[in-house]
Amino acid sequence: MPLPPFLPRSPRYDRVDALRGLAMVWMTVFHFCFDLSHFGYWPQDFRHDPFWTQQRTAIVSLFLFCAGLGQAIALEQAQGWGRFGRRWLQIAGAALLVTAGSFLMFPHSFIYFGVLHGMAVMLVVARLTAGWGPWLWLAGGAALALPWAMAAALTGPWAMAAEGFNSRWLNGLGLITRKPFTEDYVPVFPWLGVMWWGMAAGQVLLRRQRAWLAAALPAPMRPLAVLGRWSLSYYLLHQPVMIGALMLVGWVLGRPG
């Protein structure tokens, strides 16, 4: 029986992987500082101090922009719904694991619509709207502005509807007047706008700057690309490892748990 023809794998773009890897490193440092604060080694106000809140915004933005870039590349390489669906199930399953783990550690502020939950929804929307082309830039800007417009409406003419949008059933949309008490909150709006802009940027790069996008990375940056290829696994593992290490340190030092 003849062997099937060799089918080359779709090329990876190391620059996109490295950008995602950079987000992972930044996130790790941020989470380690958070863990130090949680265990009382270095108390910080992660909910209100702009030094920390602005970093969180930048890290999430970088993640979602990279996700948009990745979708542009996947669609350009004709990756079908089957492969998309398998990856989507991994992200959705990981989101459920995050919810379960955070409930054990933070039962009063567990994560029910964090970055993975938001990505699971936004990736489907991005996939369905990829054909909008340049209109993705306008859609992204509208998505970024929508929460502020809705907040004004919900404290004005639509005030009666505010509690419904603030409820746990609908606040994943991001059209709220009161931020929920949870350890991670990445609603569809405004963050879908960042993913849309990432997809629009990816389409432009693939059309006009493919050679730059495909260029080899300098040697010192290659580990970032490797890390970026394993972003989901790393995301799930890094916090349990750091938390476990700090708990072990606390036990050795005789600190109360």
Return the structure tokens found at 73: 């590349």
Question: What is residue 121's predicted lDDT score, i.e. its pLDDT?
Answer: 98
4: pLDDT strictly greater than 70: no
Q: CA 239, CA 231: separation in Å to the nearest integer?
A: 13
Cis peptide preceding 190, ω within 30 of 0: yes
Q: How confident is the model at residue 11 (pLDDT cuts 50, 70, 90)?
A: confident
Question: What is residue 10's predicted lDDT score, i.e. its pLDDT?
Answer: 63
Mean pLDDT over each residue of the chain, to the nearest integer: 93
- Over residues 131-148, mean pLDDT: 97
1: pLDDT strictly greater than 50: no
Q: Note if the pTM is more than 0.85.
A: yes
Convert the pLDDT of each residue in 140-183 to its tens digit. 999 999 999 999 999 999 999 999 999 999 999 999 999 999 99
User: What is the residue type of 179?
Assistant: K
Q: How confident is the model at residue 256 (pLDDT cuts 50, 70, 90)?
A: low
170 or 256: whose pLDDT is higher? 170
7: pLDDT strictly greater than 60: no
21: pLDDT strictly greater than 80: yes
Alpha helices per DSSP H over 80-230: 81-105, 115-129, 135-154, 162-166, 188-208, 210-214, 222-229
Question: What single DSSP character describes residue 161?
Answer: G
- Over residues 8-22, mean pLDDT: 86
Q: How confident is the model at residue 254 (pLDDT cuts 50, 70, 90)?
A: confident
- Residue carrying structure tokens 């773009």: 13
Number of Cβ atoms within 10 Å of the Cβ of 33: 16
- Over residues 19-31, mean pLDDT: 97
Task: Give the residue among 11, 150, 21 at the shortest CA–CA distance from 77.
Answer: 11
Question: What is residue 2's predicted lDDT score, i.e. its pLDDT?
Answer: 41
Question: What single DSSP character describes residue 218?
Answer: P
Alpha-carbon Rg for the chain, nearest whole angstrom, is 20
| Sign of the alpha-carbon torsion through 176, 178, 180, 186 | positive
Question: What is residue 253's predicted lDDT score, i.e. its pLDDT?
Answer: 85
Convert the pLDDT of each residue in 105-126 to its tens digit. 899 999 999 999 999 999 999 9
22: pLDDT strictly greater than 90: yes
Q: Which residues of 174-189 are buried (b: 16+ CB within 10 A; e: fewer)?
A: bbbbeeeebbbbbbbb
Q: How confident is the model at residue 88 (pLDDT cuts 50, 70, 90)?
A: very high
Question: What is residue 12's predicted lDDT score, i.e. its pLDDT?
Answer: 86
